[in-house]
Structure 1
């Protein structure tokens, strides 16, 4: 499946470009298909897609400038094959991550909405001085210096209260 850009390039080929591409295709189509199928050990459906995309890429180049057509075609096919495998790996990692996240949510028996409510309850239960520092830091995105100035306390006090607030939140989340 070629990109829109490659399809546009193919549509803009003049008759000389089409003849050069046709000559390249007639000379190397069988070889390219065999290369992708055997050397890359691609699935039959992948072979068709990679070969088609290779020809679309070739159509986007000035074929009269290609001095070593087999090298050009094999490198293009190999790059497309690698791109496809990288995309598949990213998709697989994403699927595994989603499955793992769903599994964790089920084990704890808590929906996302319930988790948000629980976090809100934990923050509201913090002692007032710690809660003020925590809210300014995490929800207002203020720096420790800004929090110290706003509350009229030292930066060290902000750091201490933030550390205590985080420790309390973590212990309550573990319960």
Structure 2
């Protein structure tokens, strides 16, 4: 995990600073690596996506925690990261729509349809190995477009 931290902590910190500021970003990066520690490094196929997902889950959990607390001032501005989250969702949607259909079908069925690789293979009448290959290409496509 130490190698993973040295390699990706600066990148993750930059990604988070634009959403939550430098002080909070440093805390979230540290918490992200604490949460990632139990995972075997060999099992992590896409480290940037893995770390970013943990960090986004931490931010979402904190937002939920804050929403449960009584509001001091009802006239406050929306949470700082809300607009950035909406922008990211829009950007991801655009990337998925621009993806070649060959990859997009597998990606959407797995990530949004909740289907397993064998289920996708049966549905599309292709091999599981082909599903794996197409999914890898879809993830690479997304990562290249989203600067992951």
TM-score band, normalised by shorter chain? 0.3 to 0.5
TM-score (norm 2): 0.46
Higher helix share: 1
TM-score (norm 1): 0.39
Higher Cα radius of gyration: 1
